[in-house]
Amino acid sequence: MYGQRIQKWDRAVEWPLTIAAILFLVAYATQIVARPDGVVALVCEIVLITTWALFAVDYVTRLWITENRWRWFSRHLLDLAIVILPMLRPLRLMRFLTVIALISRNTGNMLRGKVVLYTVGATALTVLIAGLAVLDAEQDGGAITTFGDAIWWAFVTITTVGYGDLSPVTAAGRAVALGLMIGGIALIGVVTATLASWIVERVSDQSASTAAATEAQVETLRGEIAELKDLVRELRPAS
């Protein structure tokens, strides 16, 4: 019963929250990159506050209608982070990227396609958000003062390259860098595991096909031997 209520609630708020996440990302980027004032700044602030309120209501509602609240709480820490840290809200968009992978007919390929698609989408979005966040922290007196530099820094950081040409100097900027470096390590792990899974599956399929072919050849040889025996019996003179 409680599970069905959660599912119904998720279906009802899925698209509204997705639209809210998109609006948040636009407002967040506009606020940091363009640094507007007047009406535009007020609209951006209203959008940010409204989206925070929507995600807070969603979190509290789902926590309320679930049966085992503590278990649900421990398994949905990202949702709590989305409420506490507004910059993480657009990560909810990632769940929709996995839908495309459903067109795959093979179950194994479908699962692997989900992982790859989720990884690529999450990485691109994480780079964008981290770039915006570090620019927000560093553009007033820090080392990263332009959006282009922020995106470049996010790319070299998440890939663990770390050229060192740009690095945050503020506490907030370094906190963003720490999270991004952890994300880069996780990304490498996902890609490596996916590649290993693909190689193991290909080798397994090749071994299975080779074994099947060998068994078929053995059966053919057995049939030919049986035919030769019958022919020898027919040709053998009667005693």
SS3 221: helix
User: Residue 13, Cβ neighbours under 10 Å: how many?
Assistant: 17
Compute the chain's Rg from CA coordinates.
29
How confident is the model over 194-220, as a mean pLDDT? 70
User: How many helices (H) and strands (E) would you count in the chain?
Assistant: 8, 0
Residue-range domain boundaries for the chain? 1-91, 104-207
**Fold entry, domain 104-207:** Helix Hairpins (1.10.287)
Give the tens place of pLDDT for each residue, 4-14.
787 888 888 88
The torsion angles phi and psi of 105, rounded to 5 degrees, stand at -85, -30
How far apart CA 131 and CA 204 sit, in angstroms, is 42
CA nearest 149: which of 163, 236, 35? 163
Long-range contacts of 78-84 (CB under 8 A, 24+ apart): 82/55, 83/52, 83/55, 83/56, 83/59
Q: Which residue has the higher pLDDT, 36 or 85?
A: 36
Unique residue bearing structure tokens 């004032």: 37
pLDDT digits (tens, 9 = 90+) for 45-54: 999 889 888 8
Residue 88 token pair: 């993480």
Predicted local confidence at residue 2, as pLDDT? 54
Pick the residue with more confidence: 194 or 132?
A: 132
